[in-house]
Homo-oligomer: A and B are copies of this chain.
Amino acid sequence: MALVVQKYGGSSVENAERIKKVAERIVRTRKEGHDVVVVVSAMGDTTDELTDLAEQISPKPPLREMDMLLTAGERISNALVAMAIHSLGAEARSFTGSQAGMLTTSRHGDARITEVNPYRLREALDEGHIVLVAGFQGMSADSKDVTTLGRGGSDTTAVALAAALNADVCEIYSDVDGVYTADPRIVSKASLLETVTYEEMLELAASGAKVLHLRAVEYARRYGVPLRVRSSYNDKPGTLVSGSIEEIPLENPIITGVAHDRSEGKITVTGVPDTPGMAAKIFRTIADAEINIDMVLQNISNVSGKTDITFSLPRSHGDTAVSVLEGAKSEIGFAELIYDNDIGKVSLVGAGMRNHPGVTAKFCEALSAAGINIEIMNTSEIRISVICRSDQLDDAVTALHEAFELGADDDAVVAAGTGR
């Protein structure tokens, strides 16, 4: 008998029909003899609807109250799944984040988990119940107020519970079959990965793969929680995320997959005096506005002693970044800001590339042969990323996927959307 944590995304519980299907799977897992803890996201569009309501009332609602509001969504979906389980003849009990002992920092809207005290869940499991926990939420250890965990919160709830309960596996259900070598909506012959290491999954998630949230993968790696990414629409085993690149057998493929990201924009600061500390000033200005930058390119100084600095950042923060930089224009002394939204990022990830020279060369050749110009490049030990024009992104993904022979024999089954 194992302890299984299952997390179901919003699309898996978007209506009564889907909730019943999810309940059947949960009950089946219980009947196989396992203890089951389930984390459910809010139904389909609930979070968006509640956010809309808040915006109708206040342009900038207080974050504490946003958390009180949004956590109602998971409360609703969890109670409904508990009812569906009950109607199948099994016993279930739903718990809020605070009832589940999910203690967090008090940063509303983006709280971090500081401690998990799941004694009420243990009790309910010992009494033979299926346990349901509202994802995405917790309670501030200081103020006892309701908090939310921000993006990827429900995945993180599931992983944190799996770690605290010493679960055998944490299954993340959505509407995709697992982790693919590339997005099957772009590359029809993308193949499903049976296993992937934490490090590779981290690089894929950080590079735009939406199937798992970076934060949940980081948490899973830290506590050694095996993750299984599966579809709630079928019984395929999905992808197992576990193990370290250090343990990868030599015969494993060199390259794991291609990820892409359409969410970034690019800012070029031209005519920056090429003196020490100028880049630091620019990035400090951006950091003070709580904006993370991703990739950076600094051109070689030209004859006039001026240089250009280009960096990418989340598109949603583009306007803010431009406005804080304009505000610091006289201090930094640059000539011009060029903001460019029409970019895409493509990344190649693979633990094997550490030991195989020539991957970067092949990468560049493949893009060049496809007529794709590289605007910024950035690498880690197991990843190469470049920025190109957004309308060339699909071609870039396809070219790399082919060049590194990642394709399967059959077409992948493409689902309608992705879970949150």
On whether A58 and B87 interact (CB within 8 A), knowing A65-B82, A93-B64, A94-B68, the answer reads yes
A75 touches B (CB below 8 Å) = yes
* Copies of this chain in the oligomer: 2
A80 touches B (CB below 8 Å) = yes
* B79 adjacent to A69 (CB under 8 Å): yes
On whether A57 and B69 interact (CB within 8 A), knowing A62-B86, A86-B62, A99-B144, the answer reads no
Total interface residues on A, CB under 8 Å, equals 39
A386 CB to closest chain B CB (Å) equals 43
A278 touches B (CB below 8 Å) = no
A387 touches B (CB below 8 Å) = no
* Interface membership of chain A positions 84-117, coded 1 if the CB is closer than 8 angstroms to chain B and 0 otherwise: 1011000011101001000000000000000000
List B contacts of A86 (CB < 8 A). 58, 61-62, 65
* A83 adjacent to B65 (CB under 8 Å): yes
List B contacts of A80 (CB < 8 A). 53-54, 57, 65, 69
List B contacts of A96 (CB < 8 A). 68, 146
Majority secondary structure of chain A interface residues (helix, strand, loop or mixed): helix
A19 touches B (CB below 8 Å) = yes
List B contacts of A92 (CB < 8 A). 65
* B58 adjacent to A83 (CB under 8 Å): yes
A56 touches B (CB below 8 Å) = yes
List B contacts of A79 (CB < 8 A). 54, 65-66, 68-69, 72
* B76 adjacent to A50 (CB under 8 Å): yes
A66 and B73 CA atoms in complex are apart in Å by: 14
List B contacts of A72 (CB < 8 A). 72-73, 75-76, 79
On whether A84 and B58 interact (CB within 8 A), knowing A75-B75, A93-B64, A144-B99, the answer reads yes
A84 and B65 CA atoms in complex are apart in Å by: 10
List B contacts of A58 (CB < 8 A). 83-84, 86-87
A150 and B161 CA atoms in complex are apart in Å by: 33
Residue of B nearest to A80 (CB): B57
A100 CB to closest chain B CB (Å) equals 12
List B contacts of A56 (CB < 8 A). 16
A20 touches B (CB below 8 Å) = yes
**Beyond A68-B82, A120-B144, 6 additional pairs, beta carbon < 8 A:** A20-B57, A57-B87, A59-B87, A69-B83, A72-B72, A99-B144
Partner-B contacts on A (CB < 8 A): 16, 19-20, 50, 53-54, 56-62, 64-66, 68-69, 71-73, 75-76, 78-80, 82-84, 86-87, 92-94, 96, 99, 120, 144, 146
User: 7 A-B residue contacts at CB 8 Å?
Assistant: A16-B57, A19-B57, A57-B87, A65-B86, A66-B79, A69-B75, A71-B75
